[in-house]
């Protein structure tokens, strides 16, 4: 393995003309995925301008076999680093007994197995820095936080993007606080999330918001099997296959968890208000066993109305489902961004989403905009009765005014187009360019003076 370069040498590298190597430090990259983090990091790497940036993804192997061509293996002191070429993206998978964690990306409990893996990941990234030759480290959430001190020592700038805060996991919350102080710049994924979590984000005065984007070439009807009668035909085929009656159809797609995604709110809405209503409801996902049992019980009790697809649908199946149903229900209790919303908008499933985080930002409408042409509807997070009322209103509209639905669908696709992966990447490119162009050593310049004890600036020599 090549020796770690000294800071002067690294500065020269950073100033060298040509493409900047940006190391994306993450726990997820397709197909090593748990959720939105994989979607976002993968889309960002693919959309970066290849003439200016070389994305270099580094992640724990987490027990996965790599689907990409293998380029080299480096045996570091405490882990094995395998390099692959995933299209235009260089991917490094790090393995040792902690980083392989039996195929689990986020081992539990977090305050034991989870934090051990997190700490190990950052330490091993620090060990790998010399081999990576990156000019910039981009941390996606704080999983690699343990490398930040070393990066600072080497004069290597760092960007931290908070995709979600983990106040429910104290060791990771600690990692987030430490990272916020040490990273050169910090971003998050929606204005609303930054506002809602001002308790955390106010630690710095310079937090930037870069909304996520999706690959609109993938999230497009053009890639669906041809269907002569378009959306109506796809919907007919879907509900016939599921043995549901022909009527307005809603889908929930996502993780069945207790704290964030709100599948329990939709189950409450169904149980308390929607039984027997003229609409269909499809639950697609898995997770918490008790929630899955509730969804299965709802499907058993309301056999002509509710279906459970009890698995994590791969992206192409999510695309086909969203291209066939009338509405997507997104009842999250909180949502830093909410990629499923953009995917639904792109595929013409009109969203009914809670008014939180990125969902609130994306669905914000001008009060003058006529109801029927709005790209979706919002309700208050956690309000099962409010959700049921919005669903009934929309089901009524779908029956009474199908033209209005078509207009809303066009508005939905137009809204999605504002959230393309390319647009997201252009904003990260501007951020990277500003950091690299500034040629300054990383400093905690954005920290509010009151956020911590005054320290002499100790720049690496």
Instruction: Give the interface with ligand NHF as residue ranges (CB under 6 A).
Output: 36-37, 40, 163-164, 189, 212, 335-339, 358
Nearer to ligand NHF, 339 or 387 (CB): 339
Give residue 249's Cα distance to chain centre: 26
CB of 234 to ligand NHF, least distance (A): 26
Nearer to ligand NHF, 38 or 251 (CB): 38
CB of 335 to ligand NHF, least distance (A): 5
Q: Tell whether the torsion through CA atoms of 137, 424, 118 and 104 is positive or negative.
A: negative
CB of 342 to ligand NHF, least distance (A): 9
CB of 190 to ligand NHF, least distance (A): 8
Nearer to ligand NHF, 197 or 307 (CB): 197
β-bridge mates for residue 187, sequence order: 161, 208
**What is the Cα–Cα distance from 231 to 200, expressed in whole angstroms?**
44
Nearer to ligand NHF, 173 or 224 (CB): 173
Q: How far is CA 152 from CA 4, 6, 216, in A?
A: 14, 12, 37
Nearer to ligand NHF, 307 or 334 (CB): 334
CB of 228 to ligand NHF, least distance (A): 35
CB of 417 to ligand NHF, least distance (A): 18
Q: Where are the alpha helices (DSSP H) in 83-140?
A: 97-100, 115-132
CB of 212 to ligand NHF, least distance (A): 5
**What is the Cα–Cα distance from 222 to 162, expressed in whole angstroms?**
33
Nearer to ligand NHF, 265 or 405 (CB): 265
CB-based burial, 154-175: b 16+ in 10 Å, e otherwise: bbbbbbbbbbbbbeebebbbeb
Beta strands in 226-292 (DSSP E): 249-253, 280-284
CB of 40 to ligand NHF, least distance (A): 4
- Residue 133 tokens, joined: 């030759």
Nearer to ligand NHF, 48 or 129 (CB): 48
Nearer to ligand NHF, 82 or 191 (CB): 191
**What is the Cα–Cα distance from 305 to 298, expressed in whole angstroms?**
9
Phi-psi region of 88 (alpha: psi -120 to 50; beta: other; left: phi over 0): alpha
Any residues with CB less than 8 A from the CB of 255 and at least 6 apart, and which? 35, 261, 263, 285, 286, 287, 312
């Amino acid at each position: 393995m090549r020796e770690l370069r000294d800071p002067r040498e690294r500065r020269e590298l950073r100033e060298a003309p040509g493409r900047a190597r940006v190391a994306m430090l993450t726990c997820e990259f397709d197909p090593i995925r748990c959720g939105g983090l994989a979607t976002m990091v993968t889309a960002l790497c693919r959309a970066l301008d290849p003439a200016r940036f070389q994305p270099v993804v580094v992640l724990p192997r987490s027990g996965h076999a790599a689907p990409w061509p293998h380029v080299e293996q480096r045996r570091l002191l405490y882990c094995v680093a395998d390099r692959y070429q995933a299209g235009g993206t260089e991917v490094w998978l790090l393995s040792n007994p902690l980083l392989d964690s039996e195929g689990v990306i986020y081992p539990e409990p977090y305050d034991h197995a989870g934090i051990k893996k997190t700490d190990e990941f950052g330490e091993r990234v620090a060990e790998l820095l010399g081999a990576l030759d990156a000019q910039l480290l981009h941390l996606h959430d704080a999983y690699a936080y343990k490398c930040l001190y070393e990066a600072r020592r080497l004069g290597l700038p760092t960007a931290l993007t908070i995709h979600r805060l983990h106040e429910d996991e104290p060791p990771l919350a600690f990692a987030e606080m430490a990272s916020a102080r040490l990273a050169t710049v910090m971003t998050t994924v929606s204005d609303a999330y930054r506002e809602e979590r001002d308790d955390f984000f106010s630690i710095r005065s310079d937090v930037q918001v870069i909304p996520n984007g999706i690959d609109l070439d993938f999230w497009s009807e053009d890639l669906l099997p041809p269907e002569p009668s378009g959306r109506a035909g796809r919907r007919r085929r879907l509900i016939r296959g599921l043995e549901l009656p022909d009527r307005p159809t809603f889908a929930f797609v996502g993780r069945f968890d207790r704290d964030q995604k709100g599948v329990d709110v939709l189950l409450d809405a169904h149980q308390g208000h929607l039984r027997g209503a003229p609409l269909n409801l499809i639950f697609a996902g898995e997770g918490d066993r008790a929630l899955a049992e509730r969804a299965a019980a709802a499907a058993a009790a309301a056999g002509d109305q509710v279906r459970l697809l009890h698995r994590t649908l791969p992206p192409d199946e999510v695309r086909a489902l969203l291209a066939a149903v009338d509405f997507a229900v997104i009842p999250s209790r909180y949502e830093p961004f909410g990629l499923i919303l953009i995917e639904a908008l792109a595929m013409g499933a009109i969203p009914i989403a809670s008014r939180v985080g990125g969902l609130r930002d994306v669905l914000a409408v001008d009060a003058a905009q006529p109801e029927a042409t709005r790209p979706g509807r919002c309700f208050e997070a956690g309000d099962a009765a409010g959700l049921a009322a919005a669903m009934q209103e929309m089901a009524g509209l779908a029956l009474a005014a199908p033209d209005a639905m078509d207009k809303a669908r066009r508005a939905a696709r137009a809204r999605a187009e504002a959230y393309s992966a390319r647009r997201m990447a252009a904003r990260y490119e501007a951020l990277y360019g500003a950091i690299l162009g500034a040629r300054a050593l990383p400093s905690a310049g954005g920290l509010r003076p009151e956020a911590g004890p005054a320290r002499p600036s100790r720049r690496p020599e």
